[in-house]
Amino acid sequence: MNVQKIMVIGAGQMGSGIAQVCAQAGYSVLLNDLKQEFVDRGLGIIKKNLSRQVEKDRITAQQMEEVLSNLTPSTDIQDAKNVDLIIEAAVENMEIKTKIFSQLDQIAPEHAILASNTSSLPITEIAAATKRPEKVIGMHFMNPVPVMKLVEIIRGLATTDEVYQTIEDITKALKKVPVEVNDFPGFVSNRVLMPMINEAIFTLYEGVATKEAIDEVMKLGMNHPMGPLTLADFIGLDTCLYIMETLHEGFGDDKYRPCPLLRKYVKAGWLGKKTGRGFYVYE
C-alpha cells in the first residue's frame, strides 16, 4: 500500500515528535489538534529541534526548510478525508481514543490505516470502535521521538498482514527500528518498565532508602542512564499511575497494584517535571 499523506492527531510532545520524523522522511504531514495554539506550540517544538540540528551541522538550513514545508497545521478532524495514514497521539485515555477512532472511521478514506501511539491500551478494544478493525494497528513511539530508535508495532485481533507490513515499512523509512509485539496490556516496554518504577516508589514509601539513593543504585549498579524516580518525573506521575492501573485491571494481578505514594502525589498535583514538582523539585 502506498502511503504519501499522514495525519498526526495531537500536537503535544509525542505528536509533534512523530510529525517531525514523518516530515523528515519526506511524507506530507498534517499536524492536528483541537486548538490553533496547541498546533502552533507543536510546530514551535519541531522548529526548535530542527534549529538545534542545523547549529550542530547535522542538517543544512535548506533541509530544515524542506522538512517544515512538509508540515501543514490542522484544527479540523475533517482533514482526515484526504490522508492515507492517521497516527493518533492524544491523551492516554480509552474513552477519548475510542471517540477519536470512531470519528476518524467515518471521515477517513476506505484505504486509510488508523494507528494509535498508545503506550498501554489494548489495540483490539480501540479497533472495535471502528468498522475497519483490520486496518487498525498500534505504533508505540518512544520519547523523545526524534532521538529514540524503537517503535513497538502492535497487531490487534483483526489487523491484517498487509497493514502490518505497510506500517513496518513506514517505520523503517522513518529510520526507526520496528519490533512486533502482541496485544497485551502495557505491551513489552511498559509491562517491564512501569512495575520497576512502581517498585522503586514502594522502596521510597517503605523507607528502604532516600530517593537519591534509589536512583543512584539503579544508575551505577544497573547502568541505567537515569534513576527510576527521575524517569517517573520525566514521564509524568499521572501517566505512570494510569499505566499501572491499566496493567492492574488488564491482568487482575496484584503485582501491578500502584503504590499508594504514587496515588498521593498525583492527587496532590505533583505530576513531575511538567508541574515543577514530583519526587524532585524543578525550577
CA-based R_g, the chain, Å: 19
Active-site residue, from 119, 120, 125, 162: 119
Nearest to 221 by CA among 237, 209, 239: 209
The answer to whether 61 is a known ligand-binding residue is no
The answer to whether 49 is a known ligand-binding residue is no
Verify whether residue 119 is a known catalytic residue: yes
Cell of 86: 492517521
The answer to whether 221 is a known ligand-binding residue is no
The answer to whether 119 is a known ligand-binding residue is yes
Q: What is the Cα–Cα distance from 155 to 151, expressed in whole angstroms?
A: 13
Verify whether residue 152 is a known catalytic residue: yes
Active-site residue, from 152, 180, 182, 249: 152
The answer to whether 92 is a known ligand-binding residue is yes
Cell of 255: 503485582
Beta bridge partners of 141: 151
The answer to whether 156 is a known ligand-binding residue is no
The answer to whether 10 is a known ligand-binding residue is yes
The answer to whether 143 is a known ligand-binding residue is yes
Q: Do 53 and 64 form a contact (C-beta atoms < 8 A)?
A: yes
The answer to whether 209 is a known ligand-binding residue is no
Coil, strand or helix at 274: helix
Verify whether residue 111 is a known catalytic residue: no
Q: Do 228 and 196 form a contact (C-beta atoms < 8 A)?
A: yes
DSSP H stretches of helix in the chain: 13-24, 36-55, 61-69, 94-107, 123-127, 161-173, 189-205, 211-216, 222, 228-235, 237-251, 260-267
The answer to whether 278 is a known ligand-binding residue is no
Active-site residue, from 74, 117, 120, 190: 190
Active-site residue, from 140, 198, 248, 283: 140
The answer to whether 274 is a known ligand-binding residue is yes
Q: Do 136 and 101 form a contact (C-beta atoms < 8 A)?
A: yes
Write out the binding residues. Answer: 10-15, 33, 92, 97, 119, 143, 274
Active site residues: 119, 140, 152, 190
Write out the binding residues for NAD(+). Answer: 10-15, 33, 92, 97, 119, 143, 274
